């Protein structure tokens, strides 16, 4: 954004305040714009997971903090991305065709430790597999469970999906461990 005091900058600051877990930066540098090939006022989401980026031209229409926040939420991908209707757009547009889902109850007392191990495994496959978290408590996620033919009694489970040919596999788990996740992924990759 060229003008540090423009209305768009104010709206970006509001959006950033609403999403504190996402790092934000603001630049009006011509060198930075040239480096990234940006010619207009733009919000860019850089995704570490798939080395991709998404741009939103803020000059083309009236953009407020709510629209900016929605754009960021839809397009951000993390080392482990929680799958929900908002993040589904970014997940489906990812350049990584292999998705691994941990389908679990996020209200479970075991959830924090499961996530710690799952994130550690995700780092081993950065750029190869998109790691997703699917909370069984969200009504919108019931369709995904049906897609993988899973019942709540079979959870937690890992489900891997190759988007181009829809090949998939499921592994019900007693415990999420880095080794089990790694073995499951490696077997599917082979």
The pLDDT assigned to 93 comes to 87
Pairwise CA distance, residues 44 & 62, whole Å: 17
Per-residue pLDDT band at 148 (split at 50, 70, 90): very high
Average pLDDT over residues 4-9: 80
CA atoms within 13 A on the CB side of 20: 1
**What are the pLDDT digits (tens) for 61-94?**
788 899 999 999 888 878 899 998 888 888 888 8
Candidates 45, 48, 6; CA nearest to 28 is 6
Per-residue pLDDT band at 162 (split at 50, 70, 90): very high
Pairing of strands 157-162, 98-104: antiparallel
For residue 71, the surrounding DSSP H or E stretch is helix 65-75
The pLDDT assigned to 57 comes to 87
Candidates 164, 145, 18; CA nearest to 98 is 164
Look at the alpha carbons of 182, 183, 188, 190 in this order and tell me if their dihedral is positive or negative.
positive
Q: Which residues contact 178 (CB under 8 A, 6 or more apart)?
A: 117, 120, 121, 124
**What are the pLDDT digits (tens) for 110-137?**
999 999 999 999 999 998 999 999 999 9
For residue 113, the surrounding DSSP H or E stretch is helix 111-124
Q: Residue 62 to residues 8, 56, 77, 173: CA-CA distances in angstroms?
A: 9, 12, 25, 48
More confident residue, 2 or 54: 54
Pairwise CA distance, residues 15 & 128, whole Å: 30
Stated pTM of the model = 0.80
Pairwise CA distance, residues 160 & 148, whole Å: 9
Domains of the chain: 7-76 (no CATH), 81-86+89-189 (3.40.30.10)
The pLDDT assigned to 82 comes to 92
């Amino acid at each position: 954004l060229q003008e540090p005091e423009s209305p768009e900058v104010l709206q970006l600051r509001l959006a950033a305040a609403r999403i504190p877990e996402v790092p934000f930066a603001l630049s009006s540098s011509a060198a930075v714009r040239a480096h990234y090939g940006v010619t207009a006022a733009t919000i860019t989401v850089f995704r570490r997971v798939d080395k991709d980026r998404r741009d939103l031209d803020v000059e083309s229409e009236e953009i407020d903090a709510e629209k900016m926040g929605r754009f960021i939420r839809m397009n951000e991908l993390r080392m482990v991305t929680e799958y929900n209707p908002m993040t589904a757009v970014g997940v489906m547009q990812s350049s990584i065709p292999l998705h691994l889902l941990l389908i679990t109850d996020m209200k479970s007392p075991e959830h924090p430790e499961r996530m710690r191990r799952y994130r550690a495994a995700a780092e081993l496959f950065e750029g190869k597999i998109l790691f997703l978290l699917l909370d069984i408590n969200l009504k919108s996620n019931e369709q995904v469970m049906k897609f993988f033919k899973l019942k709540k009694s079979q959870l937690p489970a890992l489900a891997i999906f190759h988007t181009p040919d829809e090949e998939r596999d499921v592994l019900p788990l007693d415990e999420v461990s880095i080794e089990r996740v790694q073995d499951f992924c490696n077997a599917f990759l082979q």
